[in-house]
Amino acid sequence: MTTITDAFELPRPEDIRAMGFVVKLRELDPNSEEVEQLARDYVVTPAVEKELPRILDDMKQVFDRGEEYGRFIHGSFGSGKSHFMTMLSLLVEGAPPAWKKFRPLLNAHRDAKASKGGEASDHEAWLTKAGLLVVRIHMLSVRGKSTGFDRAVYEGLNAALKRRGKAPFEFLNVDAIFEEVRREAKEYGEVVWKRLETEGIVGGRDDFEALAAGSIQAKERFARAWLKYKGRDASDAGIDPRWSEGLKRMAEHAKAQGFGGIVLMIDEFLLWLAEKSGQEFVAEINNLNVIVDHNTGQRPAPVFVFVARQRNLQEFFPDLVDESKIHEHLDHHAKRFELTKLQDVELRHIVRGRVLRPKKPDEVKAAVSSLSEKHSKVLPALLAGSDLDYLRDVYPFHPALIEMLVDVTSLMQRERSALRLLYELLVVHYPKLPLGEFLPVGSAFSAIFPESGVEASKKVELMQDIHHQYYSRLAPAMAKMAEEGGAEFNDERRRALDQLVKTVLLAEVSPRLKQGGLTIERLVQLNAVDVEGETFRGQVRVAETDLLALSQRVPDLQVAGQGKTALVRYVLGRVSLGEILGRARSKVDNPAQRFKVFWLALREALGVAGTKGFEDGGPNEGDWDLPWRRTRRRGRIKLGNVREMSYDDFAPPDGAFKILIDYPWDEPGHTVDEDRLRATNVRKKQGLLHTVCWLPRHMSPTELGVLTELAAVRYLLSDAGQEDLLETLGPQDKSKVLDQAGIRQKTLEGQLEDLLKEVYVRHGEFFALISDVDSSRPRETLAENLEHIAALLMDRRYPQHPTFLAEPKKQDLESLLGWMVDAGEGSVSVAYDENVGKVLKNLGQPLELVNLGQTKASLRLDSRYIKDVLQRADQDSVSWAPIADHLRETYGFQPLLVDLFLCFLCQRDHRALEDISGEPADVRIGMSQTTRIRLQRGKLVSAADWHRLRDLGSQLLEVPRPAAHRSLQGQDRFTTELRTRGQARRTVLQALHTRLVHLGVEGGDRLRELSTANSRLGPLAQTTTDSHKVLSELLASWPDDASDALRTIVHEAETLRDALAELNEHARGNLKAGVSHPIIGSEVRGHLGALDSRLAAAQAEQPLTKDWVATWNKKAQELIKRLIEQPRAPQPPAIGDGAQPSNIGGGARPSFTGGGPEVTPRTVLLKKRVNPADADAIEDFLIEVRKALTEQGVKPISVALVRTEELE
């Protein structure tokens, strides 16, 4: 077996410490072995290949113009910024190893430009001729925290000049201070030297003069000490030149020393700058900018400045606010600086070119090709879009491991570089890794977080917390799992879990690794050799099981969700959720709290939450609706200890089922066998019952611990729990704990859901109290298995029940009934539309009522359901209740289906009567089930007669035409309606007849018509329930002649009645009193004769209408008026009869002779009480006045109309 050590050129473990993994920008001998090694180790990455020629092109242009040039070298820690600047420095200085490394690249660049007609510079030639002075400044090596950027540059320049044997740059103006001291000594004498000696500044005049001739550093120290002694500020004394002026002088000095320009290489500028604050911070950034952006004119020699700038870590660690501020200031002020970006993927190329140098290239290539093919599907997802070339570049490292190291090493001490960690993984930790296998991502944990401690420069507390959590909590917990798990949790599983946990911890400090969250599937992919097939799915299941088990021991390890997509994270921080949950656990570790948690989860899993009987505090027993064969069936569910249930608890409801669900635990000493024994005894004593006992496996103590843990989390999240457990925490810590607890709650709820499936579904049992019920649990969830076993019980109870294709709803059954009636009229098929077709297919075919064709269908009467009904109803009189019970008990039909068959019988050849009263009953689908119905066989009128009857009822009595198809129920309803309206119409006819007789009509056609019409409606007056007899006799009474006059009489009876009611009988009576009037008597007699003639005549000949009556009434009034206006002429008295007229005033009444009747004069001719508002009364009164006056003879008399008041 070929190992990694066999396949790659790797150093010995003892040599790793001596290897230079961190390149520090400093002065080097161009011809030294160290430079040779730096050049050999340097990997020309794609970014360098692109940027280096551009940089040298820019430098050539700037140099020719005599200007300044600034450029940031931007990249993450470990991307090679310092190494790049070192190599650039060596190129500028003409170091042979550097040119040997880059000459092919630069020559290719020059040739490419020349081929396109561009200006192609020979960089080696012009740099040699330019003689640029390279000044390397490592800002972390600058002496003294108060040293400014300008002073660091000055000192760096002098160090470079010194190494080249050149005169230093006198950048300080200290000579003026020495001249000042000499003037004071000349003026004040020896006292000046004695005071300086007393202050410890200088030993005397001779000592002073020696300092004046000494080094610049000694002179500066004296100058600053003198200024302090005098109480003056060095910054105001003119010692330090203005920075812009100092840069000009510095360039001038470099040129004087024979250099063509200055190249400043500045490393670790940001780390140095981070120690500054306030005005210093801004001032130093401005000082950097002044190098390339100034207004002091052209300097004597160009100045180039390259600044290494670490990538903004706030992109990955948002809480690193200070570093973000530095980048903001740099971006704002240093806008004239160019930018070279060394991408994070540079590490990938560096690893390929420096670390992974194959000794057996063919074997390595074959192994990588095999892995590339195997991982082609999952790698892009793992790397968020990276390609397979990445895998080939960094094998045996997982590409995600490389990405993670970019993040993590940026937080660590500089000597803990990514390259060093990679070498340690290969050489120290996994030297025997077989070629063809990955280094798991989690394997990097031990190298980054060794047990001895972690070395970090940023986010120190976080890094130390990760170290503590693993070695103090997670590792001991996994060891405990191995100790208690026995053979099942073996060493292999423990190692796999260990890698997963380490990967989770690494993700907490690596945004690239964490991405949107680590799923269990991705965790396994990052740490497993094989990621395909059944083996991988098994690894995912084992990983989920072990991570959940570990999370119960260490709650800060959180698994949110279920299955391969569950997210895994570790909660870091000084506040431990585990410790708080430990205290919460002590509050809820009792059976009542565990049952509360269990019951809430179980009723959700069963789908009975919100069902009556299963609410909080309910009896845990209630009705439950089951969708079965597209109908809804109501059974009963009860939760309890089956071992303790009574016989009554096992009894199912009539026509339904019952399911008893046992607890997954019992009192100590009791097992599931006792529950099973109880059910067996009930079956022996009670017989077969449509009942099932759902017996789960009893939970282990660890599984019961999930209930306790979830109860503890919910207590913590409650108001009481927060007050009890979190009162000492600050708002931020409290919010953090509650967020963690919320995630923990979801994780535990997911575990409990899976646990319920485990004990009820995978290891539970359906124990049926009736035979031939499959006890398997084939569904995934509890709710699905509950429906499954309930459906099996219903199948067992009603095996002959049809399986509908849609729920039999009232509207659809009515549609089916209508089709059945239509189809039952004959033996031919009946066409159907789309809606009816759906009903026939979904309901009619399952009920075996339909022979369904493409466009037509015929009714079946020979199938089991309808045949059964027809046979049982084949009697002249039969109670419906036994038939309905048979349909319910044998087939399991529900009320609407039972109504369908009842309604069909009543539409066919039976009528429904109320069983007790015998009155007709209105049967319909959805009718009350309490009405007891008796069916009476009936006879239908013929189709032809039915057609005539529909027309006759409409013409005679305005009864709406019933449906064209015949049915007994329809026939009975039609008869009832005819009877109701016919009786009312006969009443009108009889009233008309009576009225005419009252008006003096003693014979004639109209009386005969009314009498005949009344007789013809006589069949409707029968009290029989036989609608066939009534309709047949009615039809026989009426000729099949639409023009029959009597039809009009019946139809217009009410109109005749209303017309006759308009007749003014007062006027008729008055006219009769005036028939003998000498002047208009004949006209009155003629008017009365016209009325009598009209009343006696046939309606067709002389119609009696309201208009005719109104006209007759009007003329009658006119005649009455004329009778009043033309009184009858008096008769002359008889002569010689001896009569004497009476004396007016009470004397003797005179007598008249002449043969006329004797008139006895009276004072009061008429006395009557009259209502002046009653026109008829006035008319009658006038008639009586006329009569009274007529009786007074022909001699004129005086009449007074006097009103007299009477006391009442």
Distance separating alpha carbons of residues 1178 and 1170, to the nearest angstrom = 7
Phi and psi torsions of 377, nearest 5°: -85, -35
Place of tokens 């007050």: 723
Query: What pLDDT score was predicted for residue 329?
Result: 61
Supply 567's token pair: 């997210």
Question: Strand (E) positions, 476-605?
Answer: 518-519, 557-560, 567-570
Query: What pLDDT score was predicted for residue 537?
Result: 82
Query: What pLDDT score was predicted for residue 1146?
Result: 40
Distance separating alpha carbons of residues 572 and 575, to the nearest angstrom = 8
Helix and strand numbers (H, E) in the chain are 52, 21
Query: What pLDDT score was predicted for residue 856?
Result: 92
Exposure on the CB side of residue 221, measured as CA atoms within 13 A: 9
Place of tokens 């066999």: 6
Distance separating alpha carbons of residues 410 and 416, to the nearest angstrom = 9
Query: What pLDDT score was predicted for residue 1145?
Result: 38
Query: What pLDDT score was predicted for residue 325?
Result: 57
Distance separating alpha carbons of residues 635 and 794, to the nearest angstrom = 10
Element (DSSP H or E) covering residue 406: helix 399-409
Distance separating alpha carbons of residues 1012 and 1006, to the nearest angstrom = 10
Query: What pLDDT score was predicted for residue 1167?
Result: 79
Find the farthest-apart pair of alpha carbons in the chain and give their distance in angstroms, rounded. 206
Inter-CA distances, 547 with 481, 499, 523, 553, Å: 11, 11, 11, 10
- Other Cβ atoms within 10 Å of 13 Cβ, number: 12
Torsion of CA 823, 827, 828, 832, to 10 degrees: 10
Distance separating alpha carbons of residues 463 and 665, to the nearest angstrom = 44
Supply 1056's token pair: 């005749």
Burial of 659-671, coded b for 16+ CB within 10 Å and e otherwise, reads: bbbbbbbbeeeee
Taking a C-beta distance cutoff of 8 angstroms, is the pair 461, 394 a contact? no
Query: ω before 396 within 30° of 0 (cis)?
Result: yes
Secondary structure letter of residue 801 according to DSSP: S
pTM for the whole thing? 0.54
Taking a C-beta distance cutoff of 8 angstroms, is the pair 897, 808 a contact? yes
Of 722, 800, 710, 714, whose CA–CA distance to 754 is shortest? 710
Q: What does R_g of the chain's alpha carbons equal in angstroms?
A: 60
Supply 490's token pair: 């073996």
Exposure on the CB side of residue 982, measured as CA atoms within 13 A: 24
Distance separating alpha carbons of residues 781 and 220, to the nearest angstrom = 86
Query: What pLDDT score was predicted for residue 457?
Result: 62
Of 302, 382, 359, 268, whose CA–CA distance to 130 is shortest? 302
**How long, in residues, is the chain?**
1208
Of 772, 813, 794, 802, whose CA–CA distance to 633 is shortest? 794
Distance separating alpha carbons of residues 13 and 442, to the nearest angstrom = 21
Model pLDDT for residues 202-237, shown as the tens digit of each residue: 888 888 888 888 777 788 788 888 878 877 776 555
Distance separating alpha carbons of residues 352 and 373, to the nearest angstrom = 20
Query: What pLDDT score was predicted for residue 40?
Result: 84
Cα 32–chain centre separation: 69
Distance separating alpha carbons of residues 1027 and 206, to the nearest angstrom = 153
Phi and psi torsions of 770, nearest 5°: -140, 150
Cα 1091–chain centre separation: 86
Burial of 244-256, coded b for 16+ CB within 10 Å and e otherwise, reads: bebbbbbbebbbe
Taking a C-beta distance cutoff of 8 angstroms, is the pair 932, 960 a contact? no
The per-residue DSSP string of 1105-1126 comes to -HHHHHHHHHHHHHHHHHHHHS
Taking a C-beta distance cutoff of 8 angstroms, is the pair 956, 1034 a contact? no
What is the 3 state secondary structure string of 1083-1107?
Answer: HHHHHHHHHHHHHHCCCCCCCCCHH
Distance separating alpha carbons of residues 743 and 747, to the nearest angstrom = 6
DSSP strand pairing (132-138 vs 261-267): parallel
Ranges in the chain, pLDDT < 70: 17-22, 77-78, 143-146, 234-240, 277-278, 311-335, 343-346, 374-387, 410-417, 456-458, 487, 529-534, 574, 1127-1163, 1194, 1205-1208
Query: What pLDDT score was predicted for residue 555?
Result: 85
What is the residue extent of each domain of the chain?
33-69+77-131, 172-240, 346-573, 592-696+707-716+723-797, 810-937, 943-996+1008-1060, 1159-1208
Distance separating alpha carbons of residues 874 and 907, to the nearest angstrom = 15
Taking a C-beta distance cutoff of 8 angstroms, is the pair 131, 259 a contact? yes
Query: Burial level of 812, CB count in 10 A (0-12/13-18/19+)?
Result: buried
